[in-house]
Amino acid sequence: MTAAPGSRKRQAELTEIALKAAARQVFARKGFVGAKISDITTEAGRASGSFYNHFASKEALLESLLTDWIAAAGDELTQHGDDHDLSDPEHLHWHVAAVWRTYREHGPEIRALREAAIVDPAFAARLSALRFAETHVLREHLQAMRHRGHVLPGSNDHVASAMLATLTEFCQNWILDQPDPAQPPLSDDEAIDTLTAFLLHGISGPA
């Protein structure tokens, strides 16, 4: 008996979801370069051949994961609105929390993208574009601060770059890498509060 078209479509959707979830698990364990398509299909409990019904390659699957991540981040930014005053502790806290959550929830994709960027020029360009997009948002908010009369410690470009470097390095050290076991554990709230206070006084404190 042949499955109904709707049933086949739903099964295909479930397989794609399973492959993406499995890829995140495999990337987290083995990294992007070390991961094999057979590792992903085994993790997903799917036949090896089913992979190519959804993705042309491991790189295409990673690109799909990145697209999902960026879409989710865009939805979150839209919900927060356009009026962001980074001198306001509440607004800055929201931005810091959004970055921290991204690393917490999308660590496998971020780790895989960074690893892929080392060996694949296309992913190197993708990573560069993502970083530019992140600093573009910060630069817009910093420019709005200037219009409100704030004196910043440098140009919008330089301050945005310093902020992003601080955020990403801190998140990488505490989420993607293994923290020093001699250090006390850091909760999400503690991390976000620490980053918020550090950046707030760095961009709006006395010269």
Residue 12's domain is classified under what CATH number?
Answer: 1.10.10.60
Identify the pLDDT of residue 179. 67
Identify the pLDDT of residue 78. 62
Could you give the residue ranges of the DSSP H alpha helices within 45-187?
Answer: 58-80, 89-105, 107-119, 121-147, 156-171
- The domain that holds 164 is classified in CATH as 1.10.357.10
Considering the domain architecture, whether residues 78 and 106 belong to the same structural domain is answered as: yes
Last residue of a domain, one of 55, 72, 93: 55
Identify the pLDDT of residue 130. 86
Considering the domain architecture, whether residues 122 and 50 belong to the same structural domain is answered as: no
**What's the sign of the alpha-carbon dihedral 166, 186, 96, 20?**
positive
The CA-atom distances, in angstroms, between 91 and each of 43, 85, 165, 201 are 40, 6, 19, 14
3-class secondary structure, 36: coil
pLDDT digits (tens, 9 = 90+) for 24-79: 999 999 999 999 999 999 999 998 888 999 999 999 999 999 988 888 877 776 66
Count of domains observed in the chain? 2
Identify the pLDDT of residue 65. 92
Considering the domain architecture, whether residues 35 and 126 belong to the same structural domain is answered as: no
Tokens of 169: 């390095």
Considering the domain architecture, whether residues 46 and 99 belong to the same structural domain is answered as: no
> Quick check: 4 pLDDT over 70?
no
Considering the domain architecture, whether residues 50 and 65 belong to the same structural domain is answered as: no
Q: What is the pTM of this model?
A: 0.82
Considering the domain architecture, whether residues 135 and 174 belong to the same structural domain is answered as: yes
Domain residues for 31?
1-55
Considering the domain architecture, whether residues 1 and 95 belong to the same structural domain is answered as: no
Identify the pLDDT of residue 1. 45
Considering the domain architecture, whether residues 89 and 179 belong to the same structural domain is answered as: yes
Considering the domain architecture, whether residues 37 and 88 belong to the same structural domain is answered as: no
Considering the domain architecture, whether residues 25 and 97 belong to the same structural domain is answered as: no
Look at residues 77, 101, 22 and name the one whose alpha carbon lies nearest to residue 54.
22
Considering the domain architecture, whether residues 94 and 181 belong to the same structural domain is answered as: yes
